[in-house]
Amino acid sequence: MAVVPASVSVERLAMKRGVCVTTWADGGSYANVSNVIAGLQELRPWIMRCNVTQGDTGQRTYINAIRAACPWLKISGIVGKPWQGGAQADAQAMVDWLATYPAGTFSYFEGCNEWNMFWDKGPSPRPDGQGGRPTWYANIRAYHQAIYPKLKARFPGIPVIQPSLGKREGYSLMGNLAGACDLGNAHAYTGGNAPGTSGDRITGEIANVRTICGPDPKRICVTEWGWHNKTDHVTGGHKPTPPDVAAIQCLPYFCEYDRTDDIAWMSNYELVDDRAEAPGDEDGGRHERHFGLFELNFTAIKAQGAAHRNVGRIIERAYSGSVSWGACTITVTGASDAAVMVYDRPDGRKIICLWRRGVVIYNNNTRLMVSPAPAAQNVTVTFSAARKVDTFKPHSSSDPITSLSSASTTSVTVPLVAEGAMLVVGPTGSTPPDPVDQTVTATFTVGGSSVSGSYVVTP
């Protein structure tokens, strides 16, 4: 019997649905802000993480256009680079620049991004053996400790996230910054591993980040995570995942991160494959061009992008009226590796997420599907009073599965392999109306040209 935890707000699940966006028009898939807006409206993520460059008026226009067309988005802004022009960056100047954005633009501010990766490429040895500038961590610490109090003074109430580190290294060098951050920061890519396995990097990364941000109850933002689909990538430690496998893993990964109770929100790297592979790319770098939830130039949504989108559509699925859950307990039995999370919707209904922990269907060493494939096992959810249940498997659709749904039942049995399932449950007699599309109109300027557009948002 699976342990059924106490229910929590469905906002916790929604906040696992973030995405990284490159907010400047520099020639790749992000150059056309209309396409970016359309992609965001299709995906409808909860969080958008992006860089903020001091003095870049074009970027400010770009971000403002997204904000106008996607008003539900919470935006996390990365607040500058700690070392510029051979000197420590001016923290006050960065804060003054952030204040030129419309009030309410940002929901979070984040310290510098993977500075240990991008600044330290020189030949001289570094204390952790990676080569490069040996004082990178001192630059980060000085800048972040300078900007944190200035951000809190100018933008009270907006949480500040610690700087991130790349390749899961440099924690001891960075040192404790608990007094200069409100939230931790992890980059925990899947590396081709299945959720719930020892290789999924969740537990270890949380422990590493806590050496910087401080202990529980301070929560952690996974500001980068996800899969790359460069299936012939054979060098380096970041192994690929085919899109259909990533789609199957999507909901279980959201739930695995949420069940720890440590993770505030997550941001998938990245919205779209930004550029085509170039002849000069080294094999170790070509996979960087295949992390998107959309194909290059938004020509199609990938399977994992569709799963990401479907989870959101199920969370926001419209039902008629608010209800009272009443006296009804939930029991989960069946597969011994079954796991469950229960979420409270604002309308009184509950979403029950089911998955099996650690089921491997893809071998990330051979880059082949496991053969023979693991068999499905049943997971049964039992209610102490009759309930209306709509059952979904978001890796394939945002529509309910008729054979696993009921207008009135005391139990539902769901066969699972490695995919996850979502059950929207309420008192009997409540049915969903047809979702109503909403049209948002925005006008913005890019590259000196004014562009207007109407964008359809489906609940």
Residue-level pLDDT, tens digit, the chain, 459 residues: 789 999 999 999 999 999 999 997 677 899 999 999 999 999 999 999 999 999 999 999 999 999 999 999 999 999 978 877 667 789 999 999 999 999 999 999 999 998 877 654 443 444 444 444 567 788 889 999 999 999 999 999 999 999 998 878 788 888 899 999 999 999 988 878 888 886 666 777 888 999 999 998 899 999 999 998 887 766 666 788 999 999 999 999 999 999 988 999 999 999 999 887 766 555 555 777 889 999 999 999 999 999 999 999 999 999 988 999 999 999 999 999 999 999 999 999 999 999 999 999 998 888 889 999 999 999 999 999 999 999 999 999 999 999 999 999 999 999 999 999 999 999 987 555 545 545 545 444 434 444 455 444 444
Residue 389 backbone phi and psi in degrees, to 5? -130, 125
Q: Using CB atoms within 10 A of its CB, is residue 55 exposed (0-12), middle (13-18) or buried (19+)? A: exposed
- In-domain check, residue 445: no
Report if residue 122 sits inside a domain: yes
Query: Rounded CA gap, 233 and 52, in Å?
Result: 31
Q: Is the bond into 252 cis (omega within 30 degrees of 0)?
A: no
Query: How many CA within 13 A on the CB side of residue 456?
Result: 4
Is the separation of the CB atoms in 451 and 445 below 8 Å? yes
Coil, strand or helix at 76: strand
Q: Which residues contact 436 (CB under 8 A, 6 or more apart)?
A: 318, 459
Which residues constitute the domain of residue 20?
A: 8-314
The number of domains in the chain is: 2
The reported pLDDT for the residue numbered 237 is: 66
pLDDT for 235 equals 62
The b/e string for 390-421 (b: 16+ C-beta within 10 A; e otherwise) is bbbbbbbebebeeebbbeebeebebebebbbb
Whether 120 maps to a domain, the answer reads: yes
The pLDDT of residue 191: 78
335 and 412 belong to one structural domain: yes
Q: Looking at the structure, do residues 162 and 305 belong to the same domain, yes or no?
A: yes
Q: What is the pLDDT of residue 447?
A: 40
Let me know whether 305 and 327 are in one domain. no
pLDDT at 366: 86
**Do residues 366 and 296 both lie within one domain?**
no
Residues 206 and 273 in one domain: yes
Strands 406-416 and 18-20: unpaired
Residues 260 and 295 in one domain: yes
User: Which one of 299, 314, 329 terminates a domain?
Assistant: 314
Residue 205 located in a structural domain: yes
Give me the pLDDT at residue 197, please.
80
Angle at 227 between CA 222 and CA 232, to 5 degrees: 150
On whether residue 196 sits in a domain, the answer given is: yes
Query: Residue 431's pLDDT is what?
Result: 55
The answer to whether position 451 is within a domain reads no
Helix (H) or strand (E) holding 116: helix 115-118
- Joined together, the tokens standing for residue 243 give 């899109």
Asked whether the beta carbons of 288 and 167 are under 8 A apart, the reply is no
Residue 66: closest CA among 452, 444, 449: 444
Report pLDDT for 385: 96
Same domain, 349 and 327: yes
Amino acid at 325: W
Query: Is residue 232 located within the same domain as residue 305?
Result: yes
Answer yes or no: is 435 within a domain.
Answer: no
> Which one of 314, 340, 357 terminates a domain?
314
Give a yes or no: residue 449 inside a domain.
no
Instruction: Say yes or no: 231 and 355 in one domain.
Output: no
Strands (E), 263-337: 263-268, 330-334
Strand pairing class (18-20; 47-52): parallel
